Structures are given as structure tokens and as C-alpha cells.
Amino acid sequence: MPIFALPFPMIDPVLVELGPLPIRWYALAYIAGLALGWLYARRLVSREHLWGEVAHPSRESLDDLLVYVAIGVIIGGRLGHVLFYERDFYFQHPEEIVKTWKGGMAFHGGLIGAIVAMTFFAWREKIFALTISDICAAVAPIGIFFGRLANFIKPEMWGRESDVPWAMVFPGAGDAPRHPSQLYEAGLEGVALYILLAVAVQRGALKRPGLATGLFGVGYGVARIVSEFFREPDHSEALDNGLTMGMALSAPMVLIGVGLILYALRPQRVEA
């Protein structure tokens, strides 16, 4: 173990208190991710050269999509955490399910909730569902980035014990220095994935429905699996043979992503 470790930057999880209402960094991270993602999505749909002949939603209709996806992410993320990670605890203490300010949001549950919301929006707007998911895939890394920063500030989901020079001693995690795995995930699942998808969009990915969605599935799945090697799983996340629940839930994303990429890049049929 190293003689020295980087001090954890103690940040009050409550930014400001407005009377009886505490404004928490955790909530602000979700708000920032949704708001900035919405602005980026509006920019994408307004650039006609990115779409070719693919029908896509209007800037104005994205206001409704934001509301639907926000509800889907919050409900799905919370229920995913309850069902995937701490089922026994929440079944014994159901009143704790609604206390989202204490933390506990599962990405894969939020993804399922977002898929339901996107499918409903696509049905309502009579637009191909993969086109809607491509928009959301392109903007999702923004929200993931802020979400992982919130995990770091809280702090939660810290890394495994390590002697790397940038290891930190996290409050509530004992005296051993650990990987700041939340920042690894912010970099891989947030920044790197955003750049990958931004480049793909500029190169015409939105003209092939499903391509951006597939790239997101592969990119996030691989990034999450890699990050799990540095993240300390708790009792609800650890599986047999050194695997984690995060790995198990991310592997299908990679396979589905590969399938969507192949579907999107299939030869286009030319009408006679």
C-alpha cells in the first residue's frame, strides 16, 4: 500500500438549503444531464444534413420526449436498483424505495425505463423507434457523465483497494486507499463514449437507424465491464467467479449492440 494517498475532496452533498428543501448535488446531476442532453438533441434534429431522408422528430416535440425519458429513467433506475441489487432489503423496508435522495439508481433499470418511454414517444409521433433511440443514444453519455460525478461526490460505488498514486481514502470505505472508479466511469462511459458517438453522428450514423444505438450498446457495455474490474462490488453486486452484476447486465448490451450495428449497416435495397 502507498505511504500517501490523495485526500478525498470533502464536498457537502447538499449544495444549498431553501428552507426545509435541501438542494442536493445528486439531484442536480440528473437535472444537468437531462437538460444538456435535451439541448444537444434539439441541435441534432435541427441539422437536416445529418438525417438524409430519415424521418425524425421536430425540435418542439423533443420537449415531450424529455419528460417521458426523465420519468422513465427515474422510475426504471430506482426499480432496477431495488430489484437487481437490494431486493431483500427493500422488500423488508418498502418505505425506503421512494427515498431516492439516499442514492441507489441502477443504470440498466434506467435504460429499460427510457426504452419504454422512447417506444411510447415513437408510437405517438409515428416515427421509427430506432430513430428515437439513436437520438437518445447520442445524448445519453452526457447524463451518464454527470451521474458518475454524483456517485463520486456522494461518495458511493468506490473502487477496489489499490496502491496507484491517485488512490483515495473514501469516507465510509475504511482506511485503505482505493481506485476512484467513479471517475474512471465518468471518463469511459461519459466522455469517451460521447466523443465516439459524436464522431459517428457527424459521419452519417443517423442516416442508418439503429447504428448510433448499437454503438452506444457496445461502447457502454465494454466500458462498464472494464470499469467493474476496478470497482468494489458490495454484497448485492458480487457474483461467482469474480464477476459482478454490472458485468452480467452489460454483456447482453454488447451483443444487442453488435446486432443493431449489423442491422443498420446491412446493404440498402434499391427499389426498381
Q: Mark 18-51 as b/e (b = at least 16 C-beta within 10 Å).
A: eeeeeebbbbebbebbbeebbebbbebbeeeebb
3-state secondary structure of 178: strand
Q: Which three cell numbers stand for residue 162?
A: 489499490
148 labeled part of a ligand binding site: yes
Q: Cα separation of 104 and 77, whole Å?
A: 8
Q: What is the DSSP string of 48-68?
A: GGGTTT-----TTTHHHHHHH
Cα separation of 224 and 144, whole Å? 11
Burial label for 229, CB within 10 Å (0-12, 13-18, 19+), is middle
Torsion 5-27-213-252 (CA) sign: positive
**3-state SS of the chain: helix, strand, coil percent to 5?**
60, 5, 30
Q: Grid coordinates representing 254?
A: 454488447
**Amino acid of residue 110:** G
User: 231 — phi, psi (to 5°)?
Assistant: -100, 135
Q: Which residues are annotated as a binding site?
A: 148
